[in-house]
Amino acid sequence: MQATLVAFAPARAGIIARMIKTLPFTAVLWDMDGVLVDTFDGHYRAWSRLFAELQHPFTLEDFRRTFGMNNRNIFRALLGTDLPEEEFQRLSERKEDYFRTSVRGNTRALPGALEWLERFHTLGIRQAIASSAPQQNIDVHLDELGIRPWLEAAVSGEMLPGKPDPAVFLRAAEVLAVPPADCLVIEDSVQGVEAAKQGGMRCVAVLTTNPPEKLSRADWIVPDLTRLTLEQLRAL
């Protein structure tokens, strides 16, 4: 689905302006994996392949508890130590090559994601990607989904402190020149929700990868984005 830009007559523009004033945020910061696109299986297969080559144990539970972290924090959590920089870069690039090979040509938006991207754009809400993923991964998904016209920025947290540190969200807010308190984060991971709250932002969580009890810090939780409503957003 390719994004389209729409112009509105003055009367409708006035209605939209009034709708914006009823929302408690002026910008939306989108996580990517598990929110915009379902990359769970692709990442799991890539990490499983890498750790098998390293002859290191790796389980589905290991994957679930580190999902949403950047690669540096994943290696630290699973290996119990920091890798030398050269080895970290080599292994991280290998894993991401495995991942991009598996998803290229197979990217599908999660239910409701494209509709809300377009709706927020129509309402004049500013939007950016704020993801732990490497920039190359983000670019693959943005190009395959055709959603760049709806977004003002795509910020990778690969070289920033990883979630639950709020650095990637704060950086995206800075790029948009929007105060953190005026930002809504849409997340699916425990680490991502915590990062949003530590950054002083509102947060909607979707149940793509975690049960609701693990996402209780979010301001609102929905099974998927087709269940999200403007009324819920106004109440945040």
Catalytic positions: 31, 33
H helices present in 158-216, as ranges = 167-176, 190-198
Cis peptide before 84 (omega within 30 of 0): no
Adjacent-strand bridge partners of 184: 28, 202
CA–CA distance, 106 with 194 (Å, rounded to integer): 30
Instruction: State how far the Cα of 44 lies from the Cα of 59, in Å rounded to an integer.
Output: 9
- From 31, 25, 70, select the one nearest 186 (Cα to Cα): 31
Structure tokens at 49: 């392949």
Cβ(47)–Cβ(63) below 8 Å: yes
- Torsion sign over Cα 134, 140, 145, 151: positive
Instruction: Give me 134's structure tokens.
Output: 């490497």
- Single-letter residue type at 220: W
